[in-house]
């Protein structure tokens, strides 16, 4: 949790392409390392239909988007410094929500 907060989570960008890869590279650039857990430990991935996203990406993504991504991840890995795209109010940080203990 602390690591995700330090990296300010997934990049909140208009067209969410490469956000998984971007966060993975940012984590590596920040010095975080993968941990592999052996069974019986497991991870669940919630199923979510892709809908029109692959089509939207294919229609919207440009060579410039790809070049920017490659330049940014190359820079992060070379400099060993994550590129933080979200501001301090990321993830609804500027909002207050009611909490309930159950």
How far is 97 from 35, CA to CA, in rounded Å?
33
C-beta separation of 24 from 98 below 8 A: no
pLDDT digits (tens, 9 = 90+) for 9-51: 998 887 667 888 899 999 999 999 988 889 999 888 777 666 5
**Distance of alpha carbon 18 from alpha carbon 69, whole angstroms:** 8
Q: What share of the chain is helix, strand, coil (3-state, %, to 5)?
A: 40, 0, 60
Which tokens in the block code for residue 47?
């199923």
Closest CA to 76 of 24, 4, 13: 24
pLDDT in tens, 57-74: 677 778 888 899 899 999
> What is the pTM assigned to this prediction?
0.76
């Amino acid at each position: 949790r602390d690591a995700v907060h330090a990296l300010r989570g997934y990049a909140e960008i208009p067209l969410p392409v490469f956000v998984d890869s971007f966060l993975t590279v940012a984590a590596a650039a920040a010095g975080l390392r993968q941990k592999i857990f052996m069974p019986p430990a497991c991870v669940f991935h919630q199923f979510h239909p892709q809908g029109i996203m692959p089509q939207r990406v294919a229609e919207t993504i440009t060579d410039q988007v790809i070049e920017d991504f490659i330049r940014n991840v190359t820079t992060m890995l070379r400099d060993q410094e994550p590129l933080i795209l979200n501001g301090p109010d990321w993830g609804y940080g500027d909002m207050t929500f009611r909490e309930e203990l159950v």
